Structure formats: structure tokens, C-alpha cells
Amino acid sequence: MESDMAGTLYRKLILWGALAATVLAALLVDEGTELSVDDVVQPAVDISADRRTAGQTRQIRQTHETLPVDQLGKRKFSAKADDIFAVTSWEPKRTASTDFNPQIFQPRKEEVVRRPSAPPLQFEYLGRVVSEGKIRVFLAQADQNYVAGAGERIGTEYRIDRIREDTIELTYLPLGIRQTLTIDQGTFD
């Protein structure tokens, strides 16, 4: 235990020493020795040309620093490039034809509107119990078991409406669709 405390104390001393050295180094740095961007980055100059004077060299440096915008010229855009929010359709364009071909021109048939349907029942009937004149059934769905009677909900999606000898009538609540779970006569207690 003492070796753990000594190791922890040793690590703390090293960290505090490193922190003190960093603070001391930051205080000793001379603020006047900062370099500007011009000192660090300089444009490349061709030194091999002996004919150039100092004035020509300055002129070359100035041309590298500024961009001659007037020499770029103007860009020309087409009319299609201006409308960047144009509606695009993948349907072929329809052309007006003077010849009437009844095989080509047929009115669209009304699409069959499908009503939403409830998913198939995933319940398995396990048994029933009669208590105080009320029938309650035991149902299993995947890894969950439920005990419910008529008028009670199973989870948030189903409600038991009626329990009969051979069927259980349920309502799928999100769509209000009634479904029937059939019970094998051999398994009904």
C-alpha cells in the first residue's frame, strides 16, 4: 500500500514539475521576437537574372502579392445555368401529334386504392381462467406473455373485444380493424 502511495506521489511531483517548467518557459519568452507573416512567407524571386535592379525585384514581388483582376476577363453563362431551381422531370416530353392513334393514346386507368391493413396476428393462445365470472385468456407474442379479459388492452396496439369458445376477437387499435384469433378445441381448457 505504501508503494502505491509513493508511486502516486512521485507521479504528482513529476506533473507539477512539468507544469511549473511550462509556465516558467512561457514567462521567459521575449514578446518582441514574434515573426510576422511577411518575414516567414516570401514570394519566390529569380535571383539568376543579373540584369534586374532592386526596383524591378520590388515590382515582381508586388505582382505576386496582388491578383490582376482586370486581366481575368468576364465569364459568360448560358441561360440554363441561371435557373438553378428549375423543376426536373424524368417523364418523356409529350408532343402534340396530328395523327390520332388509339393504341398509343389511352386514358390512365384509375389506380386501385389500397386501404391500410392490420398486420397478421402474432399471438399464441396458451389457456384461460375463469375468476369471479370473468374469463381471462393467456396469450404469448414473441417473448412476452399477456393475461387479459374482454375490454382490456394488450400492449398499445390490441384490445380484446370478445372471448368465445373457439375464437378471440381483437381490435387493432391504430387502424380500428377487427381480427379473429381461432382457438383449437383440443387446447381450450
User: Tens digit of pLDDT for each residue in 66-99?
Assistant: 767 777 777 776 655 666 677 777 777 776 655 5
Q: Give bridge partners of residue 125 from the DSSP assignment.
A: 139
Q: For residue range 57-67, what is the model confidence (pLDDT) as tens digits? A: 555 555 556 76
Quote the CA–CA distance of 53 and 56 in Å, as a whole number.
5
The stretch 34-58 carries a mean pLDDT of 54
Quote the CA–CA distance of 123 and 182 in Å, as a whole number.
10
The stretch 33-38 carries a mean pLDDT of 57
Q: Which residue has the cell 482586370?
A: 70
pLDDT at 139: 92
pLDDT at 52: 53
Arithmetic mean of pLDDT over the chain: 76
pLDDT at 114: 78
Share of the chain above pLDDT 70, in %: 61
Quote the CA–CA distance of 178 and 170 in Å, as a whole number.
6
Assess contact for 150 and 161: CB atoms under 8 A. Answer: yes
User: Sorting pLDDT into bands at 50, 70 and 90, what band is 189?
Assistant: very low
pLDDT at 79: 59
> What are the DSSP E strand ranges found in the chain?
124-131, 134-141, 144-149, 153-154, 158-163, 167-172, 177-182
User: Sorting pLDDT into bands at 50, 70 and 90, what band is 162?
Assistant: very high
**pTM for this entry:** 0.39
pLDDT at 55 over 80: no
Domains detected in the chain? 124-182 (2.30.30)
pLDDT at 160: 94
pLDDT at 167: 93
The stretch 8-32 carries a mean pLDDT of 86
Share of the chain above pLDDT 90, in %: 33
Assess contact for 178 and 161: CB atoms under 8 A. Answer: yes
